Amino acid sequence: MEIKIKSETENSALSRKEIECYITSAGSTPSIKEVTTEVSKKMNMDPDLLVVVKLEQPFGARRQIAYIHYYKDEKKMQRYEPKHLLERKAKRSAEKKEDEAPASESK
């Protein structure tokens, strides 16, 4: 998966960065969880404060456009992001913790 940052805007009124990036993948379309992980690694950001607002993929294209918000603290994120995005993010976090638990038990 290759990530290319198109724009990065500081929104000081909402205490967040608004990021637009292109994602190119050779295989299947990456999930929001994979996008969150890869963008946070590439930009040295905390994945818990990063919200993927929208992923667009034009028909037949191998490239996606991701719209991402990165907050400075969790209180601001809880205040400004729509409830359904936060619920989706919480669900993915819970799945991630469940995936990590069996791996640590098997050691």
All structural domains of the chain with their residue ranges: 2-105
Which pLDDT tens digit goes with each residue over 7-29? Answer: 999 999 999 999 999 999 887 88
Reported confidence tier of residue 104, pLDDT bands at 50, 70, 90:
low
For the domain 2-105, what is the CATH superfamily, name and number? RRM (RNA recognition motif) domain (3.30.70.330)
Q: Is the full-model pTM beyond 0.95?
A: no
61 pLDDT band, cuts 50/70/90, is confident
Give the number of residues written for the chain.
Answer: 107
Task: Please give the Cα distance from 57 to 59 (Å, whole number).
Answer: 6
Mean per-residue pLDDT for 31-50? 91
pLDDT at site 26? 82
Q: Residue 49, SS3?
A: helix
| Torsion (CA) 80, 17, 55, 7 in degrees, nearest 10 | 150
- Using the predicted structure, report yes or no on whether residue 105 has a pLDDT greater than 60: no
Helix (H) or strand (E) holding 58: none
pLDDT average, residue stretch 55-60: 88
